């Protein structure tokens, strides 16, 4: 495997290949961009490139022992650090410090890939910062994140940042074709639209049961009113009980409101790219019942909630407060009218 395996991220790959060819790969790289666009996969490709002794500089052969071990994620000089219970802890960074005390065993570089680096807790982030300030030789750090704004500014300042873009529809089709079998064109196109440039989200929405959940969720959101606050409490309770999918709930509602705002500001839907184009009738009704200013307010409140979800908050209470605030906005408008 090599950089040729990375689909749809030519700009980032070109930059990384140039660094590798010149043997000038920074000690700390920050790979940013939305979830599911190939950041972590590309990090492992770079690990192969810098440790492959058979391919020309800037590439990897994919067949030597180092390349094969890295591809299987069992190479002794390539370490992946991921969150445990939604955070990267100080003990993991302490173990990393011990790991860094030894020279590479097989390859030329030790490569440390910290996936979802925004989940570093405060103690772990400060411990990592000390290492980044004076990185040992023959070490490459790669911090992978879709929320770089959460990282300490001092960590950001010590990394060279590479941005990964949302994947095009053609790139997503190519990736899905290589991973999935017998996907109906209609199902694929609908999932690609909902995925918004992310492989992981696109694959998520290939599941018909998840699409049925989305349909039900959006219908309930559109039906919320001050006449029955029990619906708000029930919906918030259901969201809180499925904590692993809270981000998906936020994503679905955010993209739906975004689509409604586009419809509210344009009379020609044919030229628009909508996430929920298959729910056009529901979108039009939702947009017609609200002013553009209200829809902007919805998006602002969703963004505030997303920031709060990074901390240990009560998800049920947070969603109850959000939904009641949005319903109260409608009450205020109706009273004015």
Question: What is the domain-level CATH number for residue 231?
Answer: 1.20.272.10
CA distance 331 to 121: 40
Burial (Cβ within 10 Å: 0-12, 13-18, ≥19) of residue 180: middle
Spans in the chain with pLDDT lower than 50: 337
Reference 168, options 330, 337, 7, 335; nearest CA is: 7
The phi and psi torsions of 147 (rounded to 5 degrees) equal -140, 60
Q: CATH number of the domain that 41 lies in?
A: 3.40.50.300
Residue 175 lies in a domain: no
Q: Are residues 125 and 224 in the same domain?
A: no
Residue 68 lies in a domain: yes
Residue 183 lies in a domain: no
CA distance 49 to 31: 16
DSSP string, 296-307: HHHHHHHHHHHH
* Cβ–Cβ < 8 Å for 121, 90: yes
Reference 48, options 72, 15, 22; nearest CA is: 72
Residue 196 lies in a domain: no
Q: Are residues 252 and 109 in the same domain?
A: no
Q: Where in the sequence is the domain holding 233, given as residue range(s)?
A: 207-336
Q: Are residues 245 and 156 in the same domain?
A: no
* Cβ–Cβ < 8 Å for 100, 27: no
The tens digit of pLDDT for each residue in 110-151 reads 999 999 999 999 999 999 998 998 888 899 999 999 999 999
Domain count for the chain:
2
Residue 176 lies in a domain: no
* Cβ–Cβ < 8 Å for 34, 196: yes
The model's pTM is: 0.87
Reference 48, options 37, 59, 32; nearest CA is: 59
Residue 195 lies in a domain: no
pLDDT of residue 329: 79
pLDDT of residue 181: 64
SS (H, E, C) 161-219: EEECCCCCHHHHHHHHHHHCCCCCHHHHHHHHHHHCCCHHHHHHCCCHHHHHHHHHHHH
Distances in Å between the Cα of 329 and the Cα atoms of 44, 140, 190 are 48, 50, 32
Q: Are residues 245 and 323 in the same domain?
A: yes
Reference 13, options 55, 62, 49; nearest CA is: 49
Q: Are residues 143 and 232 in the same domain?
A: no
pLDDT above 90 as % of the chain: 69
Choosing from 108, 133, 163, the residue where a domain stops is 163
Q: Are residues 36 and 124 in the same domain?
A: yes
pLDDT of residue 121: 94
pLDDT of residue 228: 78
pLDDT of residue 4: 86
Burial 94-110 (b: 16+ CB within 10 A, else e): eebeeebeeebeebebb
pLDDT of residue 272: 61
pLDDT of residue 267: 67
Q: Please give the mean pLDDT across all residues of the chain.
A: 90
């Amino acid at each position: 495997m090599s950089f040729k395996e990375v689909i749809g991220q030519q700009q980032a790959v070109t930059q990384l290949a140039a660094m590798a060819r010149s043997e000038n790969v920074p000690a700390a790289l920050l790979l940013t961009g939305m979830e599911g666009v190939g950041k972590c996969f590309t990090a492992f490709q770079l690990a192969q490139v810098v440790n492959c002794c058979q391919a020309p500089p800037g590439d990897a052969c994919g067949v030597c022992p180092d390349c094969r071990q890295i591809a299987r994620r069992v190479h002794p000089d390539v370490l992946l650090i991921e969150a445990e219970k939604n955070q990267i802890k100080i003990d993991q960074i302490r173990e990393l410090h011990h790991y860094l005390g030894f020279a590479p065993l097989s390859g030329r570089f030790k490569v440390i890939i910290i996936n979802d680096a925004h989940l570093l807790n405060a103690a772990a982030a400060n411990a990592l910062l000390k290492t980044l300030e004076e990185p040992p030789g023959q070490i490459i750090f790669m911090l992978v994140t879709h929320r770089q704004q959460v990282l300490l500014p001092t960590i950001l300042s010590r990394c060279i940042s590479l941005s990964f873009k949302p994947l095009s529809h053609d790139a997503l089709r190519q990736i899905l074709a290589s991973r999935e079998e017998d996907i109906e064109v209609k199902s694929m196109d609908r999932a690609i639209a909902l995925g918004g440039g992310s492989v992981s989200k696109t694959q998520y929405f290939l599941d018909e049961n998840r699409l049925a959940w989305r349909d039900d969720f959006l219908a309930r959101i559109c039906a919320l009113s001050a006449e029955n606050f029990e619906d708000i409490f029930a919906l918030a309770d259901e969201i809180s009980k499925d904590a692993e999918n809270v981000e998906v709930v936020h994503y679905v509602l955010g993209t739906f409101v975004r689509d409604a705002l586009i419809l509210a500001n344009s009379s020609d839907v044919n030229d628009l790219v909508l996430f929920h184009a298959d729910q056009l009738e529901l979108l039009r009704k939702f947009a017609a019942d609200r002013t553009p200013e209200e829809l902007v307010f919805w998006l602002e409140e969703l963004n505030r909630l997303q920031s709060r979800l990074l901390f240990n908050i009560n998800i049920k209470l947070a969603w109850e407060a959000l939904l009641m605030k949005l319903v109260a906005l409608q009450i205020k408008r109706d009273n004015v009218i």
